[in-house]
Chain A
Amino acid sequence: MNRRELIQRVTFMLGGVMAAPLMAGAMGEVLNSEPGLVADDLQERLLAEVADIIIPATSTPGAKEAGAHNFIIRVVRDCFTKDEQKKFYDGLGKLNDDSKSKFGKGFVDLTLPQKNEMIEDATVYNKDFFREMKNLTITGYFTSEIGATQALAYDPIPGRFDGCTTLEKGQKAWAL
C-alpha cells in the first residue's frame, strides 16, 4: 500500500466518524420540543458530588465549588434530546444504585475513597454515563468563573499577539 492509499484509508475511517454528528442535524432529524428534564434535589446533589470527584479541589477549587453541576443541568435540560436526557439520568441513577449495592449507602453519603472507587467502577461498568459526565464536567468547570480564572490563566482582552513566547515554569494554560 503506498502512502497516498494509506492517507485515504485513514480518512475514510475518520470521515465516517466525523460526518455522523453533522448529518444528524443535516437530515433534520425529529427532536423533542417539550420542556427538558430538570434535575430533582437528589439528582442535583449527585451531579455536584460526582463532578467534584472528576475535578476535585486541589490548590484550586473543584467542580462543586465552581458550580459545574448547574451548567450540566442546563445543558442536559435544553441541549439534549429526550432520549439523551433519559439515558443520562438513568446512568446517574445506576451510579447511585451501584453505590447502595456495594456500600449500602447512596453515592452522596459515601466516604471520599468510596466515591473514588465508585467512579473508578463507572469507567468500566457505566461507561457511557461516565464519558458524558466527564465531558460536561470538564467544560462546565473550565468555563466557570472559578475554573477559568483560578485553575487557568484568564485574559479577556490581550491587546496584542505574540505567536511564540517562552513557556514560563508552572505557566497555566489559557482559559480562552
Chain B
Amino acid sequence: MNLNIDAVKAQTFDAIVIGSGISGGWAAKELTEKGLKVLMLDKGKQLEHVSGYENAMKNPWDTMYNGRLTVAQKESHPKLARDYPYNENTEKYWMNDSDSMYQEEKRFDWFRPDIVGGKSIMWGRQSYRLSDIDFEANLKEGIAVDWPIRYKDIAPWYSYVEKFAGISGEKLGLPQLPDSDFLPAMDMYCVEKEVKKKIAEHFPGRIMTIGRVANLSEAQKAQTGVGRSGCQYRNKCSLGCPYGAYFSTQSATLPAAMKTGKLTVRPDSVVKEIMYDENKNRATGVRVIDTNTLEVVEFYAKIVFVNGSTLGSTSVLLNSTSNRFPNGMGNDSGELGHNLMDHHFKIGASGEWEGGKDNYYFGRRANGIYVPRYRNIGNDKRDYVRGFGYQGGGSRAGWNQGSDAKAFGADMKEALTKPGPWRMGLSGFGECLPYHENRMYLHKTEKDKWGLPIVVFDAEFKENEAKMRIDMQNDAAEMLEKAGMKNVRSYDNKSYPGMAIHEMGTARMGRDPKTSVLNGNNQLHSVPNVFVTDGAAMTSASCVNPSLTYMALTARAADFAVREMKKKNI
C-alpha cells in the first residue's frame, strides 16, 4: 500500500452504504441524521431528481412508439424484454443485458436498475406491513428457521418510516395485515365499490380495500419539508415523478440525507468486495471498480451497510473472501445465497361489469385495490401452507376498448371516443416458501465486464406454490362471478422466480449463527460491523409487497448500529 495518510483520510468515512435504492437511501438518511459521515455507492448512473426524468412530462405523441420496444432493444435485452417494466419510456433506468450477465440453471428474470435510486424509481409502491402470522409461520410449521424478530420489534419502525415516506391507505384492524400510519385513502372506481360490497356480502372473512401505496394522497410536513408535493394522479410513476409525489430515494431519503451535509454519493461504482481485517474481526471498507475508468478504488469506514438489493448484496458478500471466510463474508452457516424467494403471481381473473354506464371517473389513480390474505387464516385450512393476497382494480376502457373485427370508419371512430365497458381484475400474489435448495451462486470462471464473477440462478416454485395457485385462480373467478361481473375469465400466465421483482432471502436473518447469516439486528453474525438490510435479510417471504419492511428493518438496524458504535462495541 503506498497511499499516503491524507489520501487514506479522504477515502475514509464513518459508514459506507452499498446501494442507493429503497433500503440504501434509508440507511444513508438515518446514519447521516445520527451524525455519521457517510459514503453511498451505486453501480448505476447519476439520476437527478426531476431533471433526470426525461420522459415524465412527455405527451403520447412525443414518444416514438407509444411504449413499444424496438427489435434492436429486444435483441440487446433478450432477458429484460421478457416483461413490461422494460419499455420505450423506462429504457434508460435498466441495465443493459450485456452488462447484466447471468446464467439460469432454471429460468430467473433479473431486473437490475442502472441508476442512483435503484428500483425506488420504478417500484410498484404497494406498501404493507408483515404481521406475526408471517413472523411466526416458519417456527409453527417447522419450515426453514425462525425469524429472530416479532411484530412488536418492528412495529414502531414501521410507524417511523411510514410517517416520513407517506403511505396512503385504509385502516382495517386485521391481524394478518396490520394497519400503517396512513395518509388518507384513495377513492375507488364505481366498479370496485360494487365488487367490494358484493365480496363482503358473499364471502365472510374476505375484504377488498384500496391499495396501500407510497404516494402522497395528502403531503404532510415531513414530506413537504424535503420538497415533495401531493399526487397529481397522472399515473406515470415509473418514469420518475417531477412532483416527488411517491417515495423514492431521490424524492425523499436523499434530500433528507443531503441536508445533513454529511453524505457523499458516488455513482458508477461497482463494489467488488468488502475488505476484512482478520485480527480485528471487522470489515475495514470496500473495494470499488469505477465503471468509467475501471480503476479500483478503496474506501474505509467503521461500519458497512449492504443495500445492493437482495442479489447484489449477496453477490458482494459471496465475492468478499478471505482466509477467515473462504466461502464469502459471514458465510459460516453455508446459507449465503440459499433460500432465494420471490412472490409467484400472474394468475387471477377478470370480468366486465354491465352496470355503471352513466358513471365515469376523473384522474388516473396510481394505485389498485387489495384483498388481504384470507387463506389459512383463523379456521380456514387448505392443503398448502401460507397464503396470497390479490391486487388488481377496475377501469373503464377508452379508445383501446376494441371493436368488431371487421369494423372501420366513422361509426367505429365515434364508438372509440366514448367510454367503453367497466372491467375488473384480481391478480394473486402468493407466498413462496424458503427452500434451502433455491439459490443463487457465483460462477467459478465466467466474469462480467468488470471482472466480477457472474451470478447463476437455480431456483423454482414448487408443490406448495402450485397448490396455492389453484385457489389463486379459482377464488378470483368465484369472487368476480358472485360480484355480478360478466364474461369472467380466469388465467394462469405462469410465474417464474424474479418476475415479481420481489426477490428475497439469500442472507437470511435467524437466531442461530449455524443456520443463518444475519442476527435480529441485520448484523452479520460473524462480522459485527456489517449490516444487510435489504430483501436478502428476509427469513420468509409473506405474501405482501416487501419494500416497506426493508425500510423499517433499515431504520431499526441503523439505530442499533449507531448505539453500538457509541458503546464502542463496533
Interface set of A (CB-CB < 8 Å, partner B) = 3-4, 7-8, 10-11, 14-15, 18-19, 22, 25-26, 28, 31-33, 36, 53-56, 58, 60, 62, 71, 74-75, 78-81, 116, 119, 123-124, 130-131, 134, 138-139, 142-145, 147-148, 151-152, 156-167, 171-176
Contact = CB atoms under 8 A, between A and B. Distances in A.
Contact of B234 (A56, A134, A156): A156
A169 to B, nearest CB: 10
Given A161-B362, A161-B364, A148 B59 contact: yes
B398 A164 contact: no
B190 A163 contact: yes
Interface in B174-207: 186-190, 192-193
B160 to A, nearest CB: 28
B363 A159 contact: yes
Contacts of A26: 82, 107
B419 interface: yes
Given A33-B71, A173-B418, A134 B408 contact: yes
A156 B189 CA distance: 19
9 contacts: A19-B494, A32-B71, A79-B69, A148-B60, A158-B362, A164-B361, A165-B360, A173-B398, A176-B235
Contact of A14 (B231, B410, B491): B491
For the complex of A and B, 6 pairs with smallest distance between CB atoms: A161-B363, A158-B363, A173-B398, A143-B60, A164-B190, A163-B187
Contacts of A22: 82-83, 493
B68 interface: yes
Given A15-B491, A25-B81, A174-B398, A162 B71 contact: no
Interface residues of B, number: 72
A162 B489 contact: no
Given A32-B71, A166-B358, A156 B59 contact: yes
Interface of B: 57, 59-61, 63-66, 68-72, 74-75, 78-79, 81-83, 107, 186-190, 192-193, 231-235, 349, 356-365, 394, 398-400, 405-406, 408-410, 412-414, 416-420, 473-474, 477-478, 488-494
Contact of B233 (A130, A145, A160): A160
A151 B413 CA distance: 9
Nearest to B79: A28
Contacts of B359: 164-167
A20 B38 CA distance: 48
A131 B408 CA distance: 10
Nearest to B194: A164
A22 to B, nearest CB: 7
Nearest to B88: A79
A144 B478 CA distance: 40
B406 to A, nearest CB: 4
Contacts of B83: 22
A88 to B, nearest CB: 13
A11 B473 contact: yes
B360 A166 contact: yes
Nearest to A84: B71
Contacts of A157: 232, 234
A131 B403 CA distance: 11
A171 B360 contact: yes
Contacts of B477: 7
Contacts of A163: 186-190, 192-193, 361, 365, 394
Contacts, number: 197
B405 A164 contact: no
A53 B60 CA distance: 23
Nearest to A30: B75
Residue of A32, A55, A152, A173 with most partner-chain B CB within 10 A: A173
Contact of B187 (A80, A116, A161): A161
Query: Chain A CB within 10 Å — which of B71, B75, B406 has the most?
Result: B71
Contacts of B398: 152, 173-175
Contact of B493 (A19, A71, A75, A81): A19
A166 B74 CA distance: 43
Given A143-B61, A152-B417, A25 B365 contact: no
B64 A58 contact: no
B64 A74 contact: yes
B489 A145 contact: no
Contacts of A7: 349, 473-474, 477-478, 488, 490
A144 B66 CA distance: 10
A79 B361 contact: no
A142 B399 CA distance: 7
Contacts of A18: 491, 493
A63 B356 CA distance: 31
B408 A175 contact: no
A142 B334 CA distance: 56
B321 to A, nearest CB: 33
A95 to B, nearest CB: 13
Contacts of A147: 399
B420 A160 contact: no
B408 A53 contact: yes
Nearest to B358: A167
A25 B234 CA distance: 29
Contact of B416 (A75, A138, A166, A174): A138
A80 B66 contact: no
Given A11-B492, A152-B399, A173-B419, A143 B64 contact: no
